[in-house]
Amino acid sequence: MRDPRRASRIVSYILLAPIVAFFVSPILWLIVTPFSIRPSLFISLNGFTLNNFTRVFQNRTAVNAFRNSLVISVSVVVLVTTCALLAAYVLSRHDFKGRNVLLYMLVLFSSVVSGAAAMVPIFILNLRLGLINTELGVILTLSGGIMPTALFILKDFFDSIPRTYEEAALVDGSSPLQVMFRIFLPLSSKGVIVIAMLVFTQSWSNFLVPFVLLRSTSKYPVSVAIYTFFSEVGVPDIGMISAYAFLYTLPVIFAYVLIERKFGFSFYGGIKG
């Protein structure tokens, strides 16, 4: 007996194959090329070598950029997560006058004004504040850009945590601070970690902000440093770029795997009803 669904399944495979190839091939290139002796724009492994990596590690700018990226990203994560956590808690748990107007304005400004369009005013703002060519300028600008998204996701997540836990803790004799640290933070830790993760990947991969605000090569994060790997005549050094890009994606993948392992993206409930 032939399965009547077979034909349609074959058709869907044919349609899906190019889409899969489109997404998979860059990743394959990224995995294969750094280890290739003669790296090219094609996915081909002709002989195994670690030479490309050695060259990356001998390059001062490249190594420095990793440090810079780490400083910027970790600072942004700490700043955004802390601020978004506190703000989202208040916005989720306290109904004060003008709360909805405030939220609406935040949505409006964060979604309507895109980062690229605001680049010129942001540059001028940083210039006036004397933050051009400083890591602080990059950190603050990136934080400001990611903050609204982080805030909204966290607020939504907090809204989904039933209030009864906190109320039960209050009646059980806790002070408001104890409720925050003993009950609310442990319950919301998953959401907070997911947000921290999101903020990290966003700031780790951002190119435009550091590119516009930073002048000296020694301060470049990885995303901008990659851009400097051209030979004098403007030909890209594919071996080095691929090896560097490979190293560049590792922390993000590592962070994802770690969090998946440790926390698993699921929420557990103890509320019945």
Write the DSSP assignment of 117-157 as a string of letters. TTHHHHHHHHHHTT-TT-HHHHHHHHHHHHHHHHHHHHHHH
For other proteins, which residue of 17, 38, 50, 167 counts as binding (CB under 8 A)?
167
175 binds other proteins (CB under 8 A): yes
Pair 221, 68: CB distance under 8 Å? yes
How is residue 272 written in tokens? 């019945």
- Cα of 81 vs its chain's centroid, Å: 12
Residue 236 phi, psi dihedral angles, 5° rounding? -65, 140
Nearer to other proteins, 172 or 260 (CB): 172
Q: CB of 167: closest distance to other proteins in angstroms?
A: 5
What is the identity of the amino acid at 256? Y
Q: CB of 191: closest distance to other proteins in angstroms?
A: 13
For other proteins, which residue of 162, 180, 208, 238 counts as binding (CB under 8 A)?
162
Sequence-distant (≥ 6) Cβ neighbours of residue 216 within 8 angstroms: 133
Q: By rule CB under 8 A, what string of x and - marks binding of each residue 239-268 to other proteins? A: -----------------------------x
Q: How many CA atoms lie within 13 A of 17 on its CB side?
A: 6
For other proteins, which residue of 26, 121, 130, 269 counts as binding (CB under 8 A)?
269
Distance between CA atoms of 213 and 207, rounded to whole angstroms? 10
Q: CB of 211: closest distance to other proteins in angstroms?
A: 43
121 binds other proteins (CB under 8 A): no
Pair 74, 197: CB distance under 8 Å? no
Near other proteins in 182-211, by CB under 8 A: 182-183, 186-187
Q: Specify the residue for token string 């999101």.
A: 198
98 binds other proteins (CB under 8 A): no
Compute how many residues bind other proteins; rule: CB under 8 A. 24
**Would you tell me which residues interact with other proteins (CB under 8 A)?**
162, 164-165, 167-176, 178, 182-183, 186-187, 268-273
